[in-house]
Amino acid sequence: MATLVHKHEVTFLRWPVQSHERDRLREAGLPCLLVLEGQTAPPNDISPTEDWVRPPVARLDLAARVHTLQRRTGTDFMPALDPTGVLYYGGQSVPMSDAQSEMMRCFLADFGHLVRRDRLKKALSRINNEAVTSNAIDLHIMRLRQRLYGVRLSLRTVWGRGYILEAAD
């Protein structure tokens, strides 16, 4: 299970393995969803910026937990990508393919800022273990744009440089 830590999104942590990360997030007041491993008991000191789930969890239930944390902490303006590849934003969710998830990690790390095409190529080559062509990037961007429509996000093209992920108008 990958862990994403970005400016103000809900972070998914494995409990109890990543308890040290939980402490850091609590101190910073950042929202966190603990994913309990096996039959581990949930922590008895849950703060208002935290919640927990035990897998397997239904996507609708997970989306509700993420949305509640975002509303509670005022971070629902930031997209969040869960470890299973579901993107959450503004109370909506949409599943992503592996390639789309890998690209979204780049966009979420710099939400609202330019992400260069070469960075996207490197991200995609990590999952394909091969060089990625410009045409492949264009195809993935087209498909990603279609997915993002469902959560009111858009990718703006900065010609010759890359793309910016932002809230749709």
Confidence grade of residue 76 (pLDDT, cut at 50, 70, 90): low
Confidence grade of residue 8 (pLDDT, cut at 50, 70, 90): low
Q: What is the dihedral of CA 36, 39, 42, 43, to 10 degrees?
A: -100
pLDDT tens for each residue of 15-60? 999 999 998 888 777 889 999 999 999 998 888 889 999 999 998 8
pLDDT surpassing 80 at residue 77: no
pLDDT given for residue 101 in this prediction: 93
Question: Are 43 and 31 spatial neighbours (Cβ–Cβ below 8 Å)?
Answer: no
Average pLDDT score over residue span 80-107: 88
pLDDT given for residue 43 in this prediction: 92
Backbone angles phi, psi at 86, to 5 degrees: -100, 130
pLDDT tens for each residue of 121-159? 999 998 877 788 999 999 999 999 999 988 889 999 999
**Packing angle of the helix pair 98-109, 134-148 (nearest 10 deg):** 80
Peptide bond into 95 cis (omega under 30): no
pLDDT surpassing 60 at residue 164: yes
pTM for this structure?
A: 0.60
Cα 12–102–52 angle (5° rounding)? 10
pLDDT surpassing 50 at residue 5: no
